[in-house]
Amino acid sequence: MGKFINMKKYTLLLIFILSVCVSFSQDYFEWSEEQLITDTLSDYSNPFVIPIAYDAWMFYQKNDARSSIIKMNLTTINDIVPVLESESFNYANPSFIWRGNPDYIGYLFYLSDMDGYNNLYASKYYENDSVGESIAVCKNLQGEDITEYSVSEESFITFLIDSLVYVAELKFYSDSVYTENETIVDSSSYGAKVKFREVCWQKQVDGNSNIFISYLKYNEDAEEFYLTVASYLDSIGNSHSLDKSSSVFGWGYNHFCWINNNYIKVYSGSSSFDQYDTINNFDQEDVRQISMVNWDIAVKYPYELPHYLAFTVNQGESAEIFSSHGEFGMEDSAQISNNSYMDEYPNLFFGESVNGWGTEAYYVYCVWQSHINGNIALSMSKAKAWIGSSIKENIKTDNYLKVSPNPFTDRLKISYNNHNRVSNIKIISAVGSIVADYKHLTPSNNWEYVSWQTLEHNSKGIYVVLLTIGSEQISTIVVLN
């Protein structure tokens, strides 16, 4: 089994070019039987799931006399390890960024009051489930209480101090991680989420919660990112429902979702275009607490992305977890939980590949809180996501794009024939980051080539080579061993 952003220690993969259109079969939208996966917890546990090697790992917060952080292998429902715990202070709200370093897996982020106030920390995480020293991430804001935060794989972070929302760049060095260019996004605000280079947050205005968005753009002269003027998206009353999508193979589409008057709203787009969708709630009442994943190869623009979206319906012991799935505008629904106790706060995450890296299907995990006999536990169900392509059927990839060798170790030859038209080539990681960009390729009717030399921080695994010729886009999959 594998992961969508953490790809290592796998055998030789079957390389393929994804099918010419997104395909779905019934079993790809069927959720497994719900399963209790933790003992009782005393409060919301902030689960965070990430694929590591061939499994899906879940980090979560357990609250006893002091809160601690636990790691569980969701694939096998075992390997439960106390990661961070103390009798003197608390560890809470875990998240993880994989780094692909040969010496350690990545950084575990968390909130802790170890220095007398609530600060954001990170520790290196090793294969034996040990952690390195606690590093205070926000070095320029020492002594301030951070109450919530959101990190992205693209090395941006948002966090909340009092009612001020900040955004900053995350800088990783050999033995440390810290923030730079901390910028106040807005005041009287909360619930900020960062995805790719977009920041979305909620702000109280005249007693209502309004949603705003701003974009991080790079100033080449100043060699730093700056935040664009905020744009209004929606007013959602007293709802605190804003969430960001966990996307895989996303390119050019960044998703935020929220609830307005029982309707599920999704924003997708970029700084150059906006797109809004209303997701079918299938006439369910009291829809709340949403979470979303979406995926695409993004070889045709624009493209309606397939998705899973989980949400809570009803209150008290009648509260259950439902999901919407399919393509926007063509959704279907399923009831994930069905029991006699209250289920709430669903969280969706991408997990490992169904049949090993290079296949078309990946697991999606739904983890939620279950209230049982006055206690709280975590429950889980999982389904499959089909990762497909929207490339036009009349385009034959071999006439435009060839790669060799595949799989490759450090250098990839990308041959292209743009048929005497302006073109460019992008190499995109599995989380949607552009790792190489070859612009303004010379128009020619002959086969030309570029060579991609990988860097030390490029992780092993799947990449998309995307050739754009005029308005047409052609893609193929490559694997870095």
DSSP for 150-165, written as a single string? EE-TTSEEEEEETTEE
- The distance of Cα 449 from the centroid of its chain, to the nearest Å, equals 33
- The distance of Cα 340 from the centroid of its chain, to the nearest Å, equals 32
In a domain, 449, yes or no: yes
Q: What is the C-alpha separation between 320 and 340, in angstroms, rounded? A: 9
DSSP labels, 330-376: EEEEEE---SSSEEEEEEEEEEEESSSTTSSEEEEEEEEEEEETTEE
Q: Pick 254 or 239 by higher pLDDT.
A: 239
Q: What is the pLDDT of residues 403-446, one digit of tens each?
A: 888 888 889 999 998 888 878 998 987 666 788 889 888 888 88
Which range is most confident: 311-325, 396-410, 464-478?
Answer: 311-325
In a domain, 276, yes or no: no
Give the CATH number for residue 404.
2.60.40.1930
Q: Dig out the tokens for 481 from the structure.
A: 């061993």
Q: What is the C-alpha separation between 11 and 115, in angstroms, rounded? A: 44
- The H or E element spanning position 178 is strand 176-186
Q: What is the C-alpha separation between 362 and 382, in angstroms, rounded? A: 10
Q: What is the pLDDT of residues 271-291, one digit of tens each?
A: 555 677 787 777 888 888 889
**137 has pLDDT over 60:** yes
pLDDT score of 329: 58
37, 210, 232 from 201: Cα distances, Å = 32, 8, 10
pLDDT score of 214: 92
Q: Pick 58 or 249 by higher pLDDT.
A: 58
In a domain, 421, yes or no: yes
Q: For residues 51-62, give the mean pLDDT.
A: 88
pLDDT score of 6: 32
Q: What is the C-alpha separation between 392 and 473, in angstroms, rounded? A: 8
Radius of gyration of the chain (CA): 22
In a domain, 241, yes or no: no
Q: Which of 478, 472, 283 is nearest to 391 (CA)?
A: 472
| Residue 54 identity | Y
- The distance of Cα 405 from the centroid of its chain, to the nearest Å, equals 30
pLDDT score of 305: 55
Per-residue pLDDT band for 88 (boundaries 50, 70, 90) equals: very high
Residue ranges making up the domain that contains 407 = 398-480
pLDDT score of 252: 43
In a domain, 34, yes or no: no
Q: For residues 160-174, give the mean pLDDT.
A: 91
Q: Which of 24, 97, 6 is nearest to 388 (CA)?
A: 24
**Structural domain count of the chain:** 1
**394 has pLDDT over 70:** no
* Residue percentage of the chain with pLDDT more than 90: 33
Q: What is the pLDDT of residues 181-225, one digit of tens each?
A: 999 999 999 999 988 788 999 998 888 889 999 988 888 888 888
Q: What is the C-alpha separation between 38 and 98, in angstroms, rounded? A: 24
In a domain, 433, yes or no: yes
Give yes or no for a contact between 361 and 352, defined as CB atoms under 8 angstroms apart: no
Give yes or no for a contact between 308 and 364, defined as CB atoms under 8 angstroms apart: yes
In a domain, 15, yes or no: no
**21 has pLDDT over 50:** no
In a domain, 103, yes or no: no
Average pLDDT in the chain: 80
Long-range contacts of 169-172 (CB under 8 A, 24+ apart): 169/225, 170/97, 170/137, 172/99, 172/107
